[in-house]
Every structure is written in C-alpha cells, then in structure tokens.
Amino acid sequence: MPLDVPAHLNIAEEFVTRLARAHPDRPAILGDSFSYSYRDVENAVNRAGNALRALGCRPGDRVLIILPDSIEFVAAFFGAAKLGAIAVPVNSTARTLDYEYYASDCGAGIAIVHASALAEFSPVARRRKFAACVIAGEPTEDLTSLAAEVSRWNDWIAAASPELAPHSTAANDSAFFLYTSGSGGIPKAAVHRHQDMFVTSRSFAWGVLGLRPEDKTFSVSKLFFAYGLGNGMYFPFSAGASTVLMGERPRPERVAELVARHRPTVFFCVPTFYGALLREAERGLALDFSSVRLAVSAGEALPPEIFERFRERFGIEILDGIGSTEMLHMFLSCRPGAARAGTCGVEVPNYETKIVDEKEEPVRDGEIGNLWVKGGSAFAAYWNKAELTARTRRGEWVVTGDKFFRDADGYYHYCGRGDDMMKVAGMWVSPGEVENALLGHVAVAEAAVVGQADAVGLVRPMAYIVLQEGVKEEPMLGQEIREWLRSRLAAHKCPQEIRFVSELPKTATGKIQRFRLRGSSTP
C-alpha cells in the first residue's frame, strides 16, 4: 500500500517537535559525557532556527554546515529546515579546495563551522566573504576576517528564543542538499524534499528494521553522508529511539568503547570498517556486540568473506543493502533472518526496481544489466545541473549507474558501478567478485580491481592490494596470489598484474575511488 504522505510537512516538526511533545524526557542523543532528551533537542533546534533568522536567513536560502556529529549538527540542520531554508551538510574533515567547491556550488550565504575545520575553511571564507559565519568549538585563530558577521555558537544560540513556529512547507518543498560521495568523480548536490525523510523512515527504518522506541542506534557512518544521516539522526528520531553520536573519525578501539558503554541495539557500518573491526578483533580487541539485534551494511557491496567471518565471530548476520544519495537511503536490503551472503536482498517496501540492457529493455533473471529504481524519496534534481539531472531522472525512474543481476529467488546481486565493470574476452567481469576472492587470501587486507588496456587495447583486470599488517612484499608474492586466484576464478577474471600499495584511494565515506586507480593504471 502506498505511503500516505501529508501535503504539508516540515521535517523539523516531524522528527523533533512531534517526539518532544510525546516523550520530552526520553533520551534522544547519547555520547561520551552527554545525554540530550527530546526536549533538549527541540530547544536547541528552535534556538538555532531563531538565531539563523536573526542573521537574515530566509526560506530557500542555503546554510552550509561543516560540523562533526553532535547536537550542534542536529540543531543547525533542523533549525534551517524549520525556517524553510535549505541545510547543506558537508564533510567536516574535508580540504580547502573541497570547501571552495561546496561553497561556490551551493551559493550559501551563511556557514556554520566547527573550530577543527577552520584551518581548511578560513581561506575560503576570506575569499568569498560570507554574510555570516557561526563557529562551534574553541577556535584559536582570529575570526574577524571570515565574514561580515561572526558569532560563536554558544553565545549565538543562547541569545535566541527556544520557541519557534515552523515555516509552512509543502511535502515537496526543498529541505536539504546532500553531495554525492565523489566515488565516480566530482560530487553533485542532490536536492531533497521534506517528504523524502518521511518516506525512507517509514519504508526502511520501520518497514525493514522495525525500529522501536527502546532501540539505540549507533552509526559509524557520519551525518553528512546520506546513509549516516538516516542511521544516526532521523531514523531513530522517527521512532522515538536514541542515537549514539561520535564526533571524531571512527577507529575500531573507539567504536568498541562506545558499543560497550551504550550497548546499542542497531549497528550501522560500511564494509571497509566491518573488515577493520574483524581484523582488530582477531588481534585481541575486545568487541562486545551482545546488545546488537541488527547489524546493517551499505556504501559498497559487502564481501561474502566479511559476512561469514562476522557471523562466525559474533553470531550476527549483517543485513547488506544498497541505497544512494539520489534516493536518500536504502531501496534494496536483506531482511532480518533472511540475509544471504553476497546479495543486497530484495526491494524495500514502497520502492520498485528494474534491471535493463543498453536499449533500456528489461533483462531476464541471471543477466547483468543496469539498475533503475523509483520511490517517493527520489531526489528532485542535481543543483544547477539540468543536463545531468535529465540523464539520471527518467520520469519517475532514477538511473543508478550500478550493474546488477537478480537471481531466481528474487535476490539482487551487485556487480559494480557501470564504469567499473569490465568486458574481458567478451564477458562481463565484476570487480567486486574478484576483490572478494582476493580477500580470501591470508596476505590480503584490502583489494581493488580495475580494467587496464594492454598494448593492443584489450582490457584485462588489474589488482591493487593492501597487505595484512606484518606481511612483507616478497618478490614472488604477486605470482603466488595470482596462481592461488586461478584455482578459484575463471581465467579471464584473474588479474594480469598485481600492484601492492600502502592504501587505496577512498572517499570520506569509505568508498573506493576506482576512477583514480584507472587513471594510474596505464602501462
């Protein structure tokens, strides 16, 4: 049955005020040395909204948010939305050129920035001369040259009223921008509406995960990332549950500490970090997942190797799925009790998918094709990129750019990004399949596979490998790994060359940037 989305909807009302009225004293945000109730969160959101209004922020204005996961992030995001303005959260550990691009692209006049990001952000602020900047944390530099008006968060918010009526927004009004991760090149700002969070929370958080008020969620993925924004903020808020926020970069030992302290019931992570947790656990790190009823993965396909090792060690099946910045969150997912290693599960309620060939005709089960998806959370457009929007949005359908096949049981199998797939000897080769096989070798910690054209222009797989800690790069190790791989994969899938590297290029959200490896793989 289709969701009944209200015609008038404001996400600050839906995900904060509604819960603050029903359960004002229930814990909403948990952390190291703090706990905020839903009443506290509403108070902070209203103060931030009023303080933004005092800076001249109006409906439709963009507010650039450069904050770690914190109550300040939540207050700035929903405070802007409550005014009818547009929140634009970006990575708080990015670099100057990134901030230059984000600021120029979205055209924000107000920036809310954490002190830890000022070294990289300040040159941009001085060149662009924002109308106003708000600084959270404890800055150590002179702030006077950053903007026409500079405020410190605590003073700025303390002076504002805790009462704020929401702007009358329609469900399809723009509410926030999310930048794509950049795994395929330059990030684009996907424009999302107020209704989109309503749809994803009802469809995935309620319909698949069954989130309930007694749950505590903990997301390793950060709030500026579409996956983390749901996991760590509006999913738990939608159910009146609690979220555990960690402001700093995730490290296995820090995650283990917070899991032990807060005992979350729903844990969200990405495949790369699940692998890191397993490696550290195997080296002796104490990881107590006994409180966790559901573990979820997205961002990239979860290798079956990691799925099996995690289940064996912790007794928990990881629910792998796939979503996108354009669709806001998951549209395919495994179900609790029915997860299958190496698959992204089946369609999430209220979403429809199809796999088509290059002529946009549906393919048969078992055949690899291009995945299209439609649902009520689809992005409205890429900001100021009409031509790219037209290529990606085909009426109600969104072209994901991913290659998939569906098996006879209806489970979807991820084969890679369209530009990551290789056709070798006339047959499609999925980099994920080869990478997962490589992860089965005892010397391999991480792997990425790309296509390389040989001297006559024929494409062959090439592997970049990060070795396990303590493993030395011996002269014959590459040959040994290739021979080992040939016993597990068809010959045309096996890399012709292996290069050992200290790390793989990744986005801030942990996705491998294969386009950078392709650019460095010329003979």
| pLDDT 10s digits, 166-192 | 999 999 999 999 998 654 557 899 999
Q: How confident is the model at residue 426 (pLDDT cuts 50, 70, 90)?
A: low
Residue 188 in any domain: the answer is no
> Is 80 exceeded by the pLDDT of residue 352?
yes
CATH number of the domain that 480 lies in? 3.30.300.30
Q: Which of 382, 397, 417 is the last residue of a domain?
A: 417
Residue 354 in any domain: the answer is yes
Q: Which of 417, 432, 460 is the last residue of a domain?
A: 417
Tell me, yes or no, whether 324 and 381 share the same domain.
yes
Residue 151 in any domain: the answer is yes
Tell me, yes or no, whether 333 and 384 share the same domain.
yes
Give the residue numbers spanning the domain of 426: 422-519
> Is 90 exceeded by the pLDDT of residue 319?
yes
Tell me, yes or no, whether 230 and 378 share the same domain.
yes
> Is 90 exceeded by the pLDDT of residue 344?
yes
Residue 4 in any domain: the answer is no
Tell me, yes or no, whether 396 and 475 share the same domain.
no
Residue 332 in any domain: the answer is yes
| pLDDT 10s digits, 253-263 | 999 999 999 99
> Is 50 exceeded by the pLDDT of residue 100?
yes
Tell me, yes or no, whether 38 and 86 share the same domain.
yes
Tell me, yes or no, whether 413 and 434 share the same domain.
no
Residue 123 in any domain: the answer is yes
What is the pLDDT averaged over residues 81-110?
Answer: 95
Q: Cα separation of 176 and 196, whole Å?
A: 10
Q: Which of 146, 179, 212 is the last residue of a domain?
A: 179
| pLDDT 10s digits, 452-476 | 776 645 677 899 999 998 898 888 8
What is each CA distance from 99 to 118, 477, 507, in whole angstroms?
11, 41, 15
CATH number of the domain that 173 lies in? 3.40.50.980
Tell me, yes or no, whether 171 and 111 share the same domain.
yes
Nearest in space to 493 (alpha carbons), one of 408, 418, 407, 435: 435
Number of separate domains in the chain: 3
Place of tokens 């026409």: 148
* Kind plus residue range of the DSSP H or E element containing 7: none
DSSP characters over 120-172: HHHHHHHHH-EEEEEEES---S--TTSEEEEEEHHHHHHTS-S--PPP--BTT
Place of tokens 């914190």: 70
Q: Please give the structure tokens belonging to residue 298.
A: 């997205």
Tell me, yes or no, whether 244 and 317 share the same domain.
yes
What is each CA distance from 190 to 22, 419, 514, in whole angstroms?
32, 20, 22
Tell me, yes or no, whether 306 and 429 share the same domain.
no
Q: How confident is the model at residue 140 (pLDDT cuts 50, 70, 90)?
A: confident
Nearest in space to 21 (alpha carbons), one of 240, 245, 242, 243: 240
Residue 356 in any domain: the answer is yes
Tell me, yes or no, whether 436 and 379 share the same domain.
no
Residue 2 in any domain: the answer is no
Tell me, yes or no, whether 173 and 204 share the same domain.
no
CATH number of the domain that 345 lies in? 3.40.50.12780
The strand pairing partners of 147, in sequence order, are: 130
pLDDT value of position 423: 64
| pLDDT 10s digits, 142-155 | 787 888 899 999 99
Tell me, yes or no, whether 48 and 154 share the same domain.
yes
